[in-house]
């Protein structure tokens, strides 16, 4: 019932209006006539849901509507309610049910958190739209120069990589570089890989005019550097210049997963974690050769967690040497 509370609210608004003798019912009839067949079906379904509510709930919703109508910004409040209702319906069913089960204060906190995450994702999708295919080539060439400029120091830090073939070693170093972003700012690992200000300026100066203009509009050097890192990450995560998937694409991908795997992902604590896991699986399936050596993990790197396919939670995948026995 709580899932459709705001659908019920929409019907409560209609019921309250219909009960008001001052409302021009002929005008309302014209509004209904102008609706599409789909909108009329939805309106009828909402009416049925509202009628199925207990009388106390219908009374509460009517009182809520009247309270909103008395506010000077009533139109804005009703717009917010409609937007919230649409936003709620686009959530995965499990996530929507969990959200609606929370007490009001916790629910509001979760809604604010989720909206911030979605705004952040939309910002980065906007960021990625600034790049051209040529920019991807520029980033890859720049990244190769950055790694080569540090290779002697990196091989001292990761001596096992000296015996790894050049192309594979480069891919491993790129992976380590991206991982270093999450190390503490004062750590040696971060210092090993962090591009210099001069290197960042060189990259920015080689990008297309649209991307350069986008960078110039940002409020600070820190924001510009974050955007450049995002572009580097996008270029690394692409194959034949295919960008990383959007959230909408990931939700479609989620529907294609086996039920057990889909339930596991939908049950992750936060929406951000859900999308991060989906993105990892998506890239892993689309780019099977990138950074996934066939004969075990690369030297100097910890083993990856068990694959999502064919492994139970807590179960370790046997090593290649174990499988050969």
Are 143 and 292 part of one and the same domain? yes
Do residues 293 and 212 both lie within one domain? yes
Of the CA atoms within 13 Å of residue 318, those in its CB half-sphere come to 6
Residue 145 pLDDT exceeds 60: yes
Q: How far apart are CA 237 and CA 283, in angstroms?
A: 7
Task: Convert the pLDDT of each residue in 252-302 to its tens digit.
Answer: 889 888 888 888 888 887 887 788 788 777 866 654 343 333 333 444 444
Question: Last residue of a domain, which of 34, 67, 89?
Answer: 89
Among 55-59, 94-98, 137-141, 243-247, which range has the highest average pLDDT? Answer: 137-141
pLDDT-above-70 percentage for the chain: 75
Considering only 139-143, 183-187, 260-264, 286-290, which range has the smallest mean pLDDT? 286-290
Q: What is the pLDDT of residues 67-80, one digit of tens each?
A: 888 889 888 888 88
pLDDT in tens, 23-48: 456 666 777 778 788 877 877 887 88
In a domain, 96, yes or no: no
Cα–Cα distance, 130 to 215 (Å, whole number): 10
pLDDT at 209: 92
* Pair (18, 144) in one structural domain: no
Confidence category of residue 201, pLDDT binned at 50, 70, 90: very high
- The model's pTM is 0.48
Q: Are residues 133 and 56 in the same domain?
A: no
Q: Which of the listed residues 89, 117, 145 is the one where a domain comes to its end?
A: 89
> How many separate domains does the chain show?
2
Q: What is the pLDDT of residues 157-174, one digit of tens each?
A: 999 998 888 888 888 888
Residues 241 and 158 in one domain: yes
Q: Is the pLDDT of residue 10 over 70?
A: no
Domain end marker among 89, 116, 142: 89
The token pair at 154 is: 């990196």
* Inside any domain, residue 186: yes
Domain with 74 in it: 2-89
pLDDT higher than 50, residue 15: no
Instruction: Answer whether 8's CB lies under 8 Å from 88's CB.
Output: no
Instruction: Report the chain's mean pLDDT, rounded to a whole number.
Output: 75
CB 235 within 8 A of CB 210: no
Instruction: Assess whether 161 and 266 both reside in one domain.
Output: yes
Domain identity same for 78 and 154: no
Check if the beta carbon of residue 303 is closer than 8 Å to that of residue 295: no
């Amino acid at each position: 019932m709580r899932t459709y509370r705001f659908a019920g609210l929409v019907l409560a608004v209609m019921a309250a209006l219909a009960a008001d003798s001052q409302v021009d019912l002929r005008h309302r009839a014209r509004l209904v006539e102008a609706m599409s067949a789909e909108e009329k079906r939805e309106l009828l379904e909402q009416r049925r849901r509202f009628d199925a509510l207990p009388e106390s709930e219908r009374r509460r919703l009517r009182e809520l509507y009247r309270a909103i109508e008395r506010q000077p910004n009533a139109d804005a409040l009703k717009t917010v309610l409609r937007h919230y209702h649409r936003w709620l319906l686009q959530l995965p069913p499990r996530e929507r049910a969990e959200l609606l089960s929370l007490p009001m204060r916790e629910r509001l906190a979760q809604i604010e958190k989720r909206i911030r995450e979605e705004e952040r994702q939309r910002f980065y999708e906007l960021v990625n739209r600034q790049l051209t295919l040529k920019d991807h080539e520029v980033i890859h060439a720049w990244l190769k120069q950055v790694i080569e400029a540090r290779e002697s120091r990196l091989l001292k830090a990761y001596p096992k990589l000296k015996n790894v073939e050049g192309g594979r070693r480069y891919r491993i170093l790129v992976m380590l570089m991206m991982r270093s972003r999450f190390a503490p700012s004062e750590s040696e690992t971060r210092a090993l890989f962090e591009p210099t200000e001069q290197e960042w300026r060189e990259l920015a100066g080689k990008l297309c005019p649209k991307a350069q203009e986008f960078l110039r509009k940002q409020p600070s050097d820190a924001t510009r550097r974050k955007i450049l890192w995002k572009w580097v990450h996008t270029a690394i995560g692409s194959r034949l210049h295919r960008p990383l998937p959007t959230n909408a694409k990931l939700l479609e991908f989620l529907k294609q997963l086996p039920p057990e795997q889909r339930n596991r992902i939908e049950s992750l604590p936060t929406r951000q974690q859900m999308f991060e896991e989906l993105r990892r699986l998506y890239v892993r399936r689309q780019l099977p050769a990138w950074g996934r050596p066939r004969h075990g993990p690369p030297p100097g790197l910890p083993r990856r967690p068990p694959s999502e396919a064919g492994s139970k939670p807590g179960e370790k995948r046997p090593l290649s040497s174990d499988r050969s026995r």
